[in-house]
């Protein structure tokens, strides 16, 4: 299946979709139009909704993002969401698109979501600040017949549809690499993203379990809040402390970590993991240009998941029936990372991103038609 790519990404990327089944026979999955037991309601995000107003004019869509400024991942998320919305407008699926950014203010986030419900938006897409605190506006959206889809970070509610990157699969790519590269008896520093964030908590849980099973000890865990300045400060403190370690397992902001290492003239770690920032990809490739001196793995955590969520929401709003086989539990669609770079495929991957600016991230997303083919009956 062909993926819809951002104009930021000029290479066609592999499109094997991760299809997550329910965990057991007793789990009820409820997609749009899927029958559920008596007395059980399907999640608001998966119900077949009829368009508000003139269906021929397209849907009124609102995107809610926790933060943009200073966060490269969320910036790409925002740009690709707007790009996908423009394409959906041109195709007649969307009549109006508006973006709201709460700047990590939970009160403002709630206020903005509530206002879009009051203003009659058909589709609301939320990349939340945290995995709690929005139950009241979710209930209000359901009552108003709004298609509410939570994107990127999991929000624990039976009344919405979550469309998220499979963070457990992403994390396991990194932990498997660390175990195979360093071996039993080694020690690593763990750099988390943000404490309490659902993606960080999922990744940390996988790393703690998988590294322990492989005989690798986490000797220190810190949180850099996906910020290069903070990751540099933390790495400098670790180096200054004299703590012994063999490698680094990390979520994003690897440039700050490497700044601290190089400025201290410290040896490169036995391995380092990170995600898909283009500036980091080129930097770690340059370090290993002549020979492998710092083993690494880069795995996409695509910001385009928001645009894919929009494509899925449009299909739901049109009355599409989600295939229950693609749901995890009753109301979550998980997308597994596809773009991975190590030393072994470094030349090929660098060629693929040669036209991308350093300031962006490797990311792709699905069109309305591709989402329909992948997730709907």
Total structural domains within the chain:
1
**146: closest CA among 38, 64, 39, 56?**
64
CATH no. for residue 237?
3.40.50.2300
**245: closest CA among 227, 268, 229?**
268
pLDDT number for residue 20: 28
CB contact set of 55 (below 8 Å; sequence gap of 6+):
none
The answer to whether residue 118 is domain-embedded is no
Which range (148-162, 181-195, 239-253) has the least confidence?
Answer: 148-162
pLDDT cut 70: percent of the chain above it: 85
Confidence of residue 56 (pLDDT cuts 50, 70, 90): low
The answer to whether residue 250 is domain-embedded is yes
The answer to whether residue 230 is domain-embedded is yes
Q: What residues make up the domain containing 284?
A: 167-299
The answer to whether residue 284 is domain-embedded is yes
The answer to whether residue 288 is domain-embedded is yes
pLDDT cut 90: percent of the chain above it: 72
The answer to whether residue 266 is domain-embedded is yes
Give the model confidence (pLDDT) of 227-260 as tens digits.
999 999 999 999 999 999 999 999 989 999 999 9
The answer to whether residue 194 is domain-embedded is yes
Which range (9-18, 80-89, 192-201) has the least confidence?
Answer: 9-18
The answer to whether residue 65 is domain-embedded is no
Q: Edge to edge, what strands does the sheet with 161-165 contain? A: 94-101, 59-65, 123-127, 147-151, 161-165, 332-335, 327-328
């Amino acid at each position: 299946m062909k993926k819809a790519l951002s104009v930021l990404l000029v290479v066609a990327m592999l499109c094997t979709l991760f299809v997550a089944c329910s965990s057991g026979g007793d789990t009820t999955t409820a997609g749009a139009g899927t029958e559920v037991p008596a007395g059980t309601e399907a999640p608001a995000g998966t119900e077949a909704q009829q368009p508000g107003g003139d269906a021929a004019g397209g849907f009124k869509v609102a995107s809610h993002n926790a933060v943009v400024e200073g966060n490269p991942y969320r910036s790409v998320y925002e740009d690709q969401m707007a790009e996908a919305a423009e394409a959906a407008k041109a195709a007649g699926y969307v009549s109006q698109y508006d973006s709201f950014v709460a700047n990590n203010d939970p009160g403002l986030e709630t206020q903005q979501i509530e206002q879009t419900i009051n203003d009659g938006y058909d589709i609301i897409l939320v990349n939340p600040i945290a995995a709690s605190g929005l139950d009241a506006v979710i209930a209000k959206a359901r009552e108003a017949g709004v298609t509410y889809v939570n994107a990127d970070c999991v929000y624990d509610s039976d009344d919405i549809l979550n469309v998220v990157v499979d963070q457990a699969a992403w994390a396991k790519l990194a932990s498997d690499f660390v175990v195979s590269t360093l071996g039993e008896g080694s020690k690593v520093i763990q750099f988390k993203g943000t404490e309490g964030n659902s993606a960080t908590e999922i990744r940390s849980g996988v790393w703690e379990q998988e590294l322990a099973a492989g005989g690798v000890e986490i000797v220190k865990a810190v949180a850099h809040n996906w910020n290069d300045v903070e990751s540099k400060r933390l790495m400098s403190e670790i180096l200054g402390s004299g703590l012994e370690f063999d490698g680094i397992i990390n979520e994003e902001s690897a440039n700050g970590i490497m700044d601290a290492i190089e400025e201290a003239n410290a040896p490169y770690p036995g391995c380092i993991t990170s995600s898909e920032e283009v500036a980091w990809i080129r930097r770690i490739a340059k370090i290993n240009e002549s020979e492998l001196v710092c083993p690494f793995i880069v795995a996409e955590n695509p910001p385009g998941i928001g645009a894919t969520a929009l494509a899925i929401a449009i299909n739901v709003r049109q009355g599409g029936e989600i295939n229950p086989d693609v749901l995890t539990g009753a109301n979550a669609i998980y997308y597994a990372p596809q773009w991975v770079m190590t030393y072994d495929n470094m030349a090929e991957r660098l060629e693929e991103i040669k036209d991308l600016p350093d300031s962006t991230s490797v990311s792709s997303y699905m069109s309305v038609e591709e989402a329909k083919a992948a997730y709907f009956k």
